[in-house]
Structure 1
Amino acid sequence: MSTMPTPAQAAARAKRILAAIRADPEFGAFEAATLEYSSDWQCFTGFPVIERWNLDSDKAPLFAEGLRALAVKAAVFDLTGDERLAEVPVAVPVDEMTHAMIAQPQLLARITGRIGVSVIHQTDQEHTDYTAGDFTHLAYRLAWGEPPARYWLVKEEVDRRVQILTARYASIGMDRAGREHDIEFAAA
């Protein structure tokens, strides 16, 4: 089994990975395709945990944060070769953005192929238990400074906000935090 790199090692490698992704000739197409995917963003407990969430004003900053998260994960994988170690904790809203990025598989595969890195993300292994002071937070701070608290919400705060959202959704007939309803569309 591999050992986890230090946050400093991951940060240095993540900065290089992010710079290479941004320098790729297809980066603009990748960004445009990811942001266009916004009409399909239907998670009720991912992006909506952001206070006063607004798709138009939040999608570009979240795209930047998603790239940074993928770069940290790719850096850990690059340094260890271990997919499980590379699944570092990521804040829920940022994780949702990575899903939009991964929904552009051809562009992402060509970009990562050209720069020689692997993007690691597997839902059954992901960790959305990000918290201040954890590995991801330390590596991020060393690479880019303090992560924006608007998007990098710690797990306890996400859980609290999901409870609020779940109650609000239930009040309009959306059960299981928006994953179920009993609306009969023919009757509406």
Structure 2
Amino acid sequence: MSAKTLPTPAAAARRAMEILFEVRADEEFEAFEAATLEYSSDWQCFTGFPVIERWNLDDDKRPLFTEGLRALAIKAAVFELTGDEKLAEVAIAVPVDEVTHAMIAQPQLLARIAVRTGFALIHHTDQEHTDYEAGCFTALAYRLAWGEPPARYWLQAEEVQRRVNILTARYASIGLDRAGREHDISFSAARTTGV
């Protein structure tokens, strides 16, 4: 297989299922899961998780953790089958990509699991693709491995952008500009006025 050609979705699905099984069976998986979910109090991105309809951290963190694991397994499978890190950066839905960041924030645990199970952790923020679509390679491989991707989390790119536009307008209405990337709140003034 050429290093510049994606594997078949079926091949990626088969290997991703094996990788995920091995990761879940690892002796430190429970600690990794607990650490990632504990980190959930820091899962604050204005345009990542909030694109999920009626987003609720307590209700959504475990299902998102599952989806993040599946995404990482597909990426690892593609890398293993191609040897190409760029090809392995397959399209991932924005909320799922966000939870992979929380997983990667557990570097020691994840690195040890990766070494023991032999999977390659693939994630380059500057090369990631959040242009997920229902018929893309990732969706096809996912369906073959685990069935239909949950639409709550695997949002298509166009829908994500529509929701980001709504969020951006709401944030601006309370003084958070550029989708939460800027504000002009003076905290010292707020302390004196109590507002």
Interval containing the TM-score (normalised by the shorter chain): over 0.9
- Point out 4+ residue stretches in structure 1 off by more than 3 angstroms: none
What are the residue-to-residue correspondences of 1:148-163 with 2, within 5 Å? 148-163=150-165
Which residue in 1 is equivalent to 2:127?
Answer: 125
* Partner amino acid, structure 2, of 1:106: Q
TM-score for the superposition, normalised by structure 2: 0.96
Offset, 1:39: 1.4
What are the residue-to-residue correspondences of 1:130-169 with 2, within 5 Å? 130-169=132-171
Offset, 1:42: 1.5
Q: Could you tell me how far apart the structure 1 residues matched to 2:89 and 2:31 are?
A: 26
Offset, 1:40: 1.1
| Structure 2 unaligned regions, length at least 5 | 191-195
Asked if 1:34 corresponds to 2:36, the answer is yes
What are the residue-to-residue correspondences of 1:1-188 with 2, within 5 Å? 2=3, 3-188=5-190
Which residue in 1 is equivalent to 2:193?
Answer: none
Q: Could you tell me how far apart the structure 2 residues matched to 1:4 and 1:39 are?
A: 36
* Partner amino acid, structure 1, of 2:126: D
* Partner amino acid, structure 2, of 1:53: W
* Partner amino acid, structure 2, of 1:76: V
- Superposed CA deviations along residues 11-54 of structure 1, whole A, max 9, x for unmatched, are 00000000000000100000000001111111100000000000
* Partner amino acid, structure 2, of 1:22: R
TM-score for the superposition, normalised by structure 1: 0.99
| Structure 1 unaligned regions, length at least 5 | none
State, as a whole percentage, how many aligned pairs show the same letter. 80
Q: Could you tell me how far apart the structure 1 residues matched to 2:121 and 2:22 are?
A: 13
- Superposed CA deviations along residues 82-113 of structure 1, whole A, max 9, x for unmatched, are 00000000000000000000000000000010
Aligned residues: 188
- Superposed CA deviations along residues 135-154 of structure 1, whole A, max 9, x for unmatched, are 00000000000000000000
SS at match of 1:179: coil
Offset, 1:159: 0.2
Offset, 1:117: 1.1
- Superposed CA deviations along residues 110-147 of structure 1, whole A, max 9, x for unmatched, are 00100111110010000000001100000000000000
Q: Could you tell me how far apart the structure 1 residues matched to 2:82 and 2:21 are?
A: 20
